[in-house]
Amino acid sequence: MPREGPRLSVLRPVGPSGTDDIDELAERDRRGARRVGPSHVAVGVAAVVTVVLLGALAWTKLGPGSSAAEPEHATDVYTVRTGDTVASVAALHAVTPDALTAANDLAADATLTAGQRLTVPLPHPTGSLPSGLAGDDDLLALRPTFEQWADEYGVPVALLEADAWQESGWDNDAVSSDGAIGIGQLLPSTVDYINQTLLDGADLDPHDPSDNIELSAAYFDDLLTNADESWAAALAGYFEGPTAAADGEWDQATTGYVTDAMTLVADFLPAD
């Protein structure tokens, strides 16, 4: 929902005339009124200047009629790979071919070209959370934390929640055979990369649920940026590593991981 910008109070003169009041205060100072700090005039002028500067800053940042921006990575954009068809790209993203062609003003029998950029519509919301989550109050209590860190890093919360559900079922005690930790199933080397490189020397603990979700959100922010806003490519990078995923030569396991995650996204999107 659009968020209103800050409301600035209008500074009103205390007496019948703002200038008369300031003149009277100045006259008292000139008569030798003892002062320890700044004069009343100086304080009054400083207050006016402060309000004006704050108002100008708010106006510059928000502009007239501004509202809170949508997440930085809210629009899914896919770069066509060799061999892609409308049907295969739609299936990869758990959307219908009709939805994909409509979003890109393409004919139903359009031929795709490698390197072509497509806007991918969101999957249609299912209106129900995954089995195993809907009735678990302890797990549901994590949703505000997902929302907090998704908002902090500009990551779509449905994408963050869906992939974490696929990775661990939101079990922060989960540890994989290769040492991946917690809700986001983050390898120790990935945690070090996020803390030291992405977060400038932070010390987030993947064994803490909130820290693990924040680490995952920061990682998705980086993956989406480097994948030119492709949710599919970011998911592939999360699964097999950014370098391996960058060449676009995804094997069946990677393609299946991406499709499964995008299918779960529909469970976490708000119902229409």
The residues assigned a catalytic role are 167
* E runs forming strands in the chain: 76-79, 117-120
Contact 231, 126 (CB under 8 A): no
How far apart, in Å, are the Cα atoms of 152 and each of 47, 116, 216, 219, 271? 33, 31, 12, 12, 23
**How many whole angstroms separate alpha carbon 245 and alpha carbon 194?**
18
User: CB burial class (10 A; 0-12, 13-18, 19+) of residue 37?
Assistant: exposed
How far apart, in Å, are the Cα atoms of 132 and each of 127, 159, 181, 264? 15, 18, 20, 13
How far apart, in Å, are the Cα atoms of 138 and each of 34, 127, 150? 64, 20, 20
How far apart, in Å, are the Cα atoms of 159 and each of 48, 162, 263? 46, 5, 10
